[in-house]
Structure 1
Amino acid sequence: MTENRRSPVTLEAVAARAGVSRATASRVLNGSTRVSDDARDSVRAAADELGYVPNRAARSLVTRQSDALAFVVAESEDVFFADPFFAPVLRGAHDAAAERGRPLLFVIVANDEDRARLEQYAAGGHVDGVMFVSVHAHDTLPRRVHDLGVPVVLAGRPPRGRPALPYVSSDNVGGGEAAARVLLERGCTEVATITGPDDMTVTTDRLEGFRRGVAAGGLDLPADRIVSGYFSMDGGRAAMAQLLEA
């Protein structure tokens, strides 16, 4: 039995229904302000009535934009799926993209081959912007993608001394200070801290703040009281065991 499939509604059909030219209909559906209110209302009403769905491939040939955004995690799959931090960040990025009708591509770059593929993909014009999450100090991929002319934003402050890239971050230095202050206010005199990977600014910033907070309370933070847990459950358990043994 042959399935009857409805042919997609064309831009020409929308224009004819609205009583405007194809060019006017195109301007309305592409968000241009160079049309009258009457024309805009007519075209939008016609598109809704006919069930018009824009052809993104054709539109990208004209605008040279893909409309797609990429959410890139610079970790292995094991780290991504084991760390509860990533899911709410991905959800927030998805919600923001969906509000604007943008598809969001999720990409894990765990090795040099993954980085090369993403760089080639971005160079081919397949994404209009890239958000990088969990970037390590040695990773030059965000800068390379930026240099291709693709807008880039980092989740977290980039390493000091690196060329500036746009980023969104929390006050990790202040957070480290606040954590130390809580311990001191509870009367703790022997304090320690479990940190993340040494090559991430979130680690160095939190440790800097924790040191400040401890010093402000007149206490010392010996080197053997600072142990990396690599931002993982297993790493945290191992680090805690090491501190307890000491």
Structure 2
Amino acid sequence: MTTVPSRRRPTIDDVAEAAGVSRGTVSRVLNGGRWVSQDAKAAVDAAIRKTGYRVNPHARSLATNRTGSVAFLLTEDHQLLFEDPNFSMLLTGAAQALAERQLSLVLIMAGSAAEQERALAYIEAGHVDGVLLVSAHSGQRLISDIVDSKVPAIACGIPLGFQKRLGYVAADDLEGAREMVAHLRGLGRERIATIAGPEDTPGGVTRLEGYRLELGEAFDERLVRHGDYGRASGEAAMRELLEADPTIDAVFVANDRMAAGAIDALRTAGRRVPEDVAVGGFDDSSIAVGTDPALTTMRQPFERISAEMVRLLLQVIEGERPAAITLPTELVVRDSA
């Protein structure tokens, strides 16, 4: 019987020989490319492709004390990952941005206190290199625990109460809300109500503040209701607003899911959208084009938010100070306003 010799697995030395550089140069390229010229990096990358070299993740982890993975920590109930398109867009964007850097994403759902305790224990045990913290509510002990643990982390949205200790990437909720209210006023609407988000979330706080600032002296506390970002809460809030003031001719809603619920309530009440009541949302999620009529809304740049969160997190992992970025929103005019 004739045995066929197995093909030897390429090594760093093989890559160095093919690239015409030292073994140390190859190692530096594999570990982030610091102190390597562009020409040397290009030669190493070409040699890796030519030789078919693959990094041994276990050996690399031991050498760098890195796991090569990042946690996407969603502090909401599990079903919201599927019900709220914002979360799936952020998750997809983060996974893509990490994959481009040959890093893995670990999804951790932690809506309850018990789940958050387990998540913190997992993170502090060193199973991930850093955390992308999504949908954190002010007052949650988890935020404080993550900050105190010194594990690299970046939040999605302003981490209320921890702005000076935790880096973040946020959409410009304040200016976005102001622009939407200005748009509704520009349509000639005078009794503009709002359905704000939860008061322990950055969007709930800041979008309401933008609404208040834009209305100025015309602000009326009686035209404010809060929802939980869910469609049913938007419908209930709209019913309450109509009962409180039947003369309402426009409503700014803090997210698209609640705006869809508001449209449902208006239809049930026999109000036409936008003829009787104009409706403006926030997010420009897939829900915005599924309502009848299609929803005028403020677009959040979810893909860029994800990419910037990953970029800032990797900087913190490398020892840099946390940074904060606020990205502009964009008015998208459709049929509802």
- What residue in structure 1 maps to residue 227 of structure 2? 229
Amino acid at match of 1:14: D
SS in structure 1 opposite 2:206? helix
**Given the superposition, is the C-alpha separation of residues 145 and 20 from structure 1 closer, same or farther in structure 2, using an over 3 Å criterion?**
same
1:72-91 pair list within 5 angstroms: 72-91=73-92
What secondary structure does 1:169 align onto? strand
What corresponds to 1:92 in structure 2? 93
> Take 2:211 and 2:87, find their aligned partners in 1: how far apart are those partners?
24
Mapped partners of 2:94, 2:176: distance in 1? 23
Alpha-carbon spacing, 1:12–1:179, altered in 2? closer, same or farther (3 Å): closer
Aligned residues: 239
TM-score scaled to structure 1, two decimals?
0.82
Amino acid at match of 1:64: N
Please report the RMSD computed on the Cα atoms of aligned residues, expressed in angstroms.
3.0
Query: What residue number does 1:242 align with?
Result: 240
1:172 to partner: Cα distance? 1.3
- 2:184 equivalent to 1:186: no
Q: TM-score, normalised by structure 2?
A: 0.62
Higher mean Cα deviation, 128-137 or 138-147? 138-147
Residue 155 (str. 1) matches residue 153 (str. 2): no
- Give the deviation of 1:220 after TM superposition: 3.4
- Which letter does structure 1 place at the counterpart of 2:11? L
Deviation at 1:50, TM superposition (A): 4.1
Aligned partners of 1:179, 1:232: CA distance in 2, in Å? 20
Paired residues of 2:9 and 2:53 also in contact (CA < 8 A): yes
Cα shift at 1:74: 1.1
* TM-fit CA distance, 1:137: 0.5
- What is the CA distance between 1:98 and its match in structure 2? 1.6
Alpha-carbon spacing, 1:7–1:65, altered in 2? closer, same or farther (3 Å): farther
- Superposed displacement of residue 232, structure 1: 1.2
Q: 1:48 to 1:129 in 2, by over 3 A?
A: same
Structure 2 residues without counterparts, runs of 5 or longer: 245-337
- 1:204 Cα offset (Å): 1.0
By how many angstroms is 1:78 displaced?
2.0
Q: What secondary structure, in the 3-state scheme, does the structure 2 residue paired with 1:126 have?
A: coil
Cα distance, 1:8–1:191 mapped onto 2, change above 3 Å: farther
What is the one-letter code of the residue matched to 1:221? D
State the 1:31 CA deviation. Answer: 4.3
Q: Return the offset for 1:162.
A: 6.4
Change beyond 3 A, Cα 1:122–1:7: farther
Partner of 1:11: 11
Q: Determine the structure 2 residue equivalent to 1:121.
A: 122
8 Å CA contact retained: 2:33, 2:41? no
Structure 1 74/103 Cα, relative in aligned 2: closer, same or farther at 3 Å?
Answer: same
Please report how far the alpha carbon of residue 151 of structure 1 lies from its aligned counterpart in structure 2 after TM superposition: 1.3
Taking a change above 3 Å as real, the CA distance of residues 117 and 25 of structure 1, as seen in their structure-2 partners, is same
Kept in 1, the 8 Å contact 2:158–2:169? The answer is: yes
- TM-superposed deviation, 1:197: 1.0
Partners of 2:174 and 2:89 lie apart in 1 by 22
State the Cα deviation string for residues 70-125 of structure 1 (Å, max 9, x = none): 11111101222211211222222122112211111122111122212221222222
Q: Residue by residue, what CA displacement relative to the aligned partner does 1:184-240 show, whole Å, maximum 9, x if unpaired?
A: 22222222101111111211111111011112xx423133x2112211112111211
CA distance in 1, matches of 2:33, 2:64: 12
Aligned counterparts, 1:19-168, within 5 A:
26-31=27-32, 44=45, 47-160=48-161, 164-168=165-169
Code of the aligned partner of 2:85:
P
Residue type of the alignment partner of 2:94: A
